[in-house]
């Protein structure tokens, strides 16, 4: 039963059909399916398929855009339920979150933000295409414990290093942990840029953030 629903979810993204995606997300909520399962076992399968087709030249930018819009609509529909299910309510720490400069991919970053706030972190989501200056200013302003950066492009990953360098220059690196993520981010990259942690997905991001806080 769920398998069929997951398949329909993937298909709604492949079709770029935001209305169907929202309807299926609502169906997941009413039937008690874990919203994160709906995302990872349903909608993400579709968006990955469109991404692969785009990489091979079998799909074009309009399809990528429509898939992205449908994915965003589905995740936004599921977000309140993810927040509602978050059981831990104590404040674990302050996180400044952003997709780095030059990069407008927001879905994975927002998912990480939702999971972190559902798990008890206070999240300051600065959005996408955020410069190191803005990240630095917000880090200072809120006295963040963690700076969390997403990058989906091999060309924008370098901005993660730029932010770490800016934190060092401002004398803040000793007071703040840095975690990074996004499809092209690897363990090697994390070591190379001197970040404190990374994760391949949103659930892992919560575990990493907690361990960085010593929780």
Binding interface with ligand B1M (CB under 6 A): 44, 47-48, 50-51, 54-55, 61, 64-65, 67-68, 71-72, 102-109, 111-112, 148-150, 152-154, 179-184, 199, 201-202, 205
Q: Is the Cβ–Cβ distance between 38 and 72 less than 8 Å?
A: no
3-state secondary structure of 40: helix
Which lies closer to ligand B1M via its Cβ, residue 51 or residue 86? 51
Q: How far is the CB of 137 from ligand B1M (least distance, A)?
A: 19
Q: How far is the CB of 44 from ligand B1M (least distance, A)?
A: 5
Q: Which is nearer to ligand B1M, 118 or 180 (CB)?
A: 180
Q: Output 41 or 140, the one with its CB closest to ligand B1M.
A: 41
Q: How far is the CB of 140 from ligand B1M (least distance, A)?
A: 19
Where in 104-165 does DSSP place strands (E)? 121-125, 146-150
Minimal CB distance to ligand B1M: which residue?
108
Residues in the chain: 215
For ligand B1M, the closer CB: 26 or 129: 129
Query: Which of 190, 168, 188 has its CA nearest to residue 180?
Result: 190
Residue 91, class by beta-carbon neighbours within 10 Å (0-12 exposed, 13-18 middle, 19+ buried)?
Answer: exposed
Give backbone dihedrals phi and psi of 35, rounded to 5 degrees, phi first. Answer: -60, -30
Tracing tokens 């001197």 back to the chain, one arrives at 194
């Amino acid at each position: 039963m769920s398998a069929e629903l997951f398949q329909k979810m993937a298909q709604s993204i492949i079709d770029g059909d935001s209305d169907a995606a929202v309807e299926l997300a609502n169906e997941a909520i009413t039937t008690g399916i874990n919203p994160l399962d709906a995302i990872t076992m349903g909608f993400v399968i579709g968006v990955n398929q469109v991404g692969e087709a785009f990489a091979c030249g079998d799909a074009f930018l309009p399809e990528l855009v429509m898939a992205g819009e449908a994915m965003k609509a589905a995740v936004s529909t599921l977000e309140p339920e993810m927040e509602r299910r978050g059981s831990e309510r104590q404040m674990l720490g302050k996180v400044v979150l952003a997709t780095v400069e030059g990069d407008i991919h927001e879905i994975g970053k927002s998912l990480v933000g939702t999971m972190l706030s559902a798990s008890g972190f206070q999240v300051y989501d600065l959005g996408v295409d955020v410069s190191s200056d803005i990240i630095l200013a917000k880090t200072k302003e809120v006295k963040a414990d963690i700076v969390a950066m997403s990058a989906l492009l091999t060309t924008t990953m370098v901005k993660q290093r730029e932010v770490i360098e800016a934190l060092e220059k401002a004398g803040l690196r000793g007071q703040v942990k840095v975690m990074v993520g996004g499809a092209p981010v690897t363990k090697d990259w994390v070591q190379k840029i001197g970040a404190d942690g990374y994760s391949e997905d949103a659930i892992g991001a919560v575990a990493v953030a907690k361990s960085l806080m010593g929780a």
